[in-house]
Each structure stands twice: as structure tokens, then as C-alpha cells.
Structure 1
Amino acid sequence: MPEKFMDVKETAKFLNMSVTWVYRDAPNQGLTPYKFGSSPNAKIQYKISEVQQWIKQQKLG
């Protein structure tokens, strides 16, 4: 089954975070962005399965 991706706005909404946080801080927090295209306007997306796994790792206690 092919992997499914979310764009930055969808990822921000899914995580209840700002778009700025997703662009600036998410990669530093362990979320891996995927860039589709080589132009300055290339699309950045995140794998849904990796975002869900990252959320589970953030559990306290």
C-alpha cells in the first residue's frame, strides 16, 4: 500500500500547532519532512504514519 502524506497546513491542523511551528520546529523535534520538487516552491509534506508514531512518542508518564 502506498504511503499517504499530509501537507504542512494539514500537519499543523492534525497536531493542533501553527504552520510556522511545522516549518521551523517540527524537523528539530524529530518529524521528518519530505520535499517534492526542486524549485523554491517545492511542496513539503509529512508521512501520516510517521506523524502518528511521533505523537505516540510524546506521551508523558
Structure 2
Amino acid sequence: MVPQFMDVRETAQYLNMSVQWVYREAPRAGLAVYRFGAGRNAKIQFKVSEVHAWVKQQKVDVT
């Protein structure tokens, strides 16, 4: 079974960015964040299909 969500560390690794960048910039860049739980113990995760779609949107045609 393919996982439906990635945690911050997995998302950072997939995007080849730092964990700090994912926390700070991913929501500002339009990547949807899912929060499971409340307060400081909340888990922040990203939906795999949405991360893939977001990456495809970042494509720049250079001619």
C-alpha cells in the first residue's frame, strides 16, 4: 500500500530542501499542510498526491 501522507522530514527529502524550509516556506509557496492533533504535539504532514502535483506546477519551460 502506498502511503497517503508524508511527514515534514520525508517531504523535505523528496523536495531536496531542508526541514526548516518545509516548515517556513512550503505553506507560503502553496503546498497544503495537514495538521493531526493539537498544540505543540500536532503532527504536520503533506498529502503525497498534492506534493507531486505541486512539484509538477513548479516546472519552468526554458526556450
| Whole-angstrom CA distance in 1 between matches of 2:19 and 2:5 | 16
CA distance in 2, matches of 1:19, 1:33: 14
**TM, length-normalised to structure 1:** 0.92
Identical amino acids, percent of aligned pairs: 63
CA–CA distance in 2 between the matches of 1:21 and 1:33?
13
What residue identity is the alignment partner of 1:13? Answer: Q
Output the CA distance in 2 between the equivalents of 1:33 and 1:24: 11
RMSD, aligned α-carbons: 1.0
What is the rounded CA distance, in whole Å, between the counterparts of 1:58 and 1:32 in structure 2?
A: 15
Residue 15 (structure 2) aligns with: 15
Larger radius of gyration: 2
Question: Unaligned stretches of 5+ in structure 2?
Answer: none
Q: Alignment partner of 1:32: what SS?
A: coil
Q: Deviation above 3 Å: which 4+ runs of structure 1? A: none
CA distance in 1, matches of 2:32, 2:39: 19
Cα deviation for residue 39 of structure 1 reads 2.5
- For structure 1, which runs of at least 5 residues remain unmatched after alignment? none
